[in-house]
Structure 1
Amino acid sequence: MRIQVIGGGIAGASIAYHLLKEGHEVTVYDREDQGQATCVSAGIISPWVSQRRNKVWYQLVRLGAAYYPEFIQELESLTGERTGHRKSGAILFFKDEEVLPKAFKRITDKQAEAPEMGELTYLTKDQQQAKFPMLTTEFPSLYLSGASMVNGKQLRDVLQVAVEKLGGEWNQVSSPPEPSADLTIYCAGAWGNEYQQNIPVSHQKAQLLHFTIESDDTFPVVMGLKTHYIVSFGNGRFALGTTHEDTTSFDVSPTKEAQEELMKLAEMYFPGQELKELSMAVGLRPYTPNFLPIVEQISDSLFVVNGLGSSGLTAGPLLGKEISHWVSGKETQLDLSKFTWKEGDGDR
């Protein structure tokens, strides 16, 4: 088939890559909008620690995490490029000692069907400090060995290289063309409503603080209190996030309030450390009315994929593979009919 993919974030790039592997003729059109969520995100691949109870979502991200090693190895072998993915392990913070045994049981109960999560262990303060010396030891913590991270922009850029190596086209455009292929797939993220009105898409403004601390090492990712996270990129570079601000604006200017909030968190998590080279990154994270990714065939020639939200970098590669199999008439691991949307749907 001749297929147009509109949008070059993690969803569009992954779909294009996998469709090309299935032998289709694929052209990607991307505006490179400022604030594209994929290019701002520092993805933590650790879905097993989530407390979200939605079974459809959890199956997607669990299988997405399981697919990652194969996906990354294949992608890096094809392109000769590094994706910014590494198995980092994760330090998990909790507010007090009382919740620690419950959290330990909740997470380890998932181990049987997700052995790739690795081993979950209790950390003493000394053990935590050995893994991440600059980090606060104020909070009780666990360590999950199988967690990993990926640099969203780096991964997207390598996917673009792979698309072109496989014979696809990747076009930066100010406005995508009218549908003219056998199939057009809209993966426009926060800007999805510009191109189709069938699936309403909303977005959040997510702001992250980037900074450096003098160090030559890399460290585990940190899943802090509430929704805080810290990612180590190596060479003393860190990102801390993220804010969650519902908005209808496409302004990606950082706000003073968000910077102040994130600075306070940085000072809490890195007490006594000198933070240098401070900067803010802002992304627009798309979501849909049922807070699940939407995979919707609008007509024989039109498909919509959107709403990957904060788990886009975990789910995107697998979702691309599954959609390519569905388009090609192959069996899928996921029941994609569970990712359609009907008016009135809630969080399923």
Structure 2
Amino acid sequence: MKEKVDYIIVGGGIAGCTLAYHLLEMNQSVIMYDKLNNQSASRVAAGLYNPITGRKMVKTWKADLLFPYLKKFYQEVEGRTNQKFLIEKEIYRPFHSVEEQNEWMSRSGDENFIPYIDTIHQKSLNQNYRDPHGGISLANAGYLNVALYLSSIRAYLKDNGVKIVEDNFEVQKLKASGSSVEYNKVEASKIIFCDGAMSLNNQFFSWLPYKLVKGELLEIESDLSEYNRIINRGVFVIPKSKNRFRVGATYENYDLTLAPTEKGKSEIEAK
């Protein structure tokens, strides 16, 4: 006997679980294939959401569309799971020059940036920061406790009828026709791959021109307990609990092993 569903989702990270939640809200039946991997991108991500990004400090792509919905969505899931995983917190980005300070002073009156600017600081905010030109405190920012979000939403999905198969998806066993797909006696109208780096081994997506990148984070302990904001410029420092911080991250194109490295640790410590 075949099991029939509307959708097969491959991958149960942030993308897969969030998609499954939305499909469930649309009364669609879902089966998800996801073998738990504690080293997957979703499970080790710092989870920052930041409206102003990059070396040139530009507005995040589609920020005006995504950021209002981001807050609404995660708070909705928090209410349904009785958990707290969206941490709203100021992000402070030091200026590199007086020119950059002046540029942001002029932007502070621009309606396109007003929702994301909390305060423009024209002098150093803290003697322990390297910010002689001041910096910008960003609103609509913070981080997602990704591990807690994933465990909470997976439990919610299971409780509400989403079948989660904790096994590898063997794409070579997938049979696709014009109107449906079939995999291990499961027939679905559609299949959606949310499997991140694993797509490189997928015959349907292996042609895509992208490379994997390895990132490393460092957990540190410090007596600077007055730091209650995220600092982010070339390196981020996220307060996690009293005297404990998460710092990162590295971007390594060649060493793609899953183990942490002394090189990564040294790079983060230097920053």
Structure 1 residues 218 and 154: CA distance shift in structure 2, 3 A: farther
Q: TM-score, normalised by structure 2?
A: 0.80
Matched, 1:58 2:58: no
Report the CA distance between 1:237 and its aligned residue: 2.1
Report the CA distance between 1:196 and its aligned residue: 3.2
1:82 aligns to what?
Answer: 84
1:208 aligns to what?
Answer: 217
Deviations 1:225-254 (A, max 9, x none): xx321111122221111111224x652111
2:98 aligns to what?
Answer: 97
User: Could you list the runs of 5+ residues in structure 2 that have no partner in the other structure?
Assistant: 175-182
Structure 1 residues 68 and 123: CA distance shift in structure 2, 3 A: farther
Q: Name the amino acid aligned to 2:246.
A: A
Matched, 1:169 2:159: no
Structure 1 residues 112 and 138: CA distance shift in structure 2, 3 A: closer
1:124 aligns to what?
Answer: 123
Q: Name the amino acid aligned to 1:64.
A: L
- Conserved 8 A contact 2:10-2:195: yes
1:153 aligns to what?
Answer: 147
1:257 aligns to what?
Answer: 263
Deviations 1:66-114 (A, max 9, x none): 212211221011111222x2211111112233321124445x47x6246
Question: How far apart are the structure 1 equivalents of 2:192 and 2:114?
Answer: 34
Q: Name the amino acid aligned to 1:42.
A: A
Larger proportion of helix:
1
Report the CA distance between 1:13 and its aligned residue: 1.2
2:230 aligns to what?
Answer: 221
Residue in structure 2 matching 1:189, options 189, 196, 199? 196
- Conserved 8 A contact 1:218-1:235: no
Q: Name the amino acid aligned to 1:68.
A: L
Equivalent residue runs for 1:29-68 within 5 Å = 29-50=33-54, 51=56, 58-59=61-62, 61-68=63-70
User: Could you list the runs of 5+ residues in structure 1 that have no partner in the other structure?
Assistant: 266-348
Q: Percent identity?
A: 20
Report the CA distance between 1:6 and its aligned residue: 0.6
Question: How far apart are the structure 1 equivalents of 2:95 and 2:158?
Answer: 44
The secondary structure found in structure 2 opposite 1:251 is coil
The secondary structure found in structure 2 opposite 1:170 is strand
Structure 1 residues 123 and 32: CA distance shift in structure 2, 3 A: farther
Q: TM-score, normalised by structure 1?
A: 0.64
Q: Name the amino acid aligned to 2:94.
A: F
Question: How far apart are the structure 1 equivalents of 2:105 and 2:253?
Answer: 32
Which is greater in Rg?
2
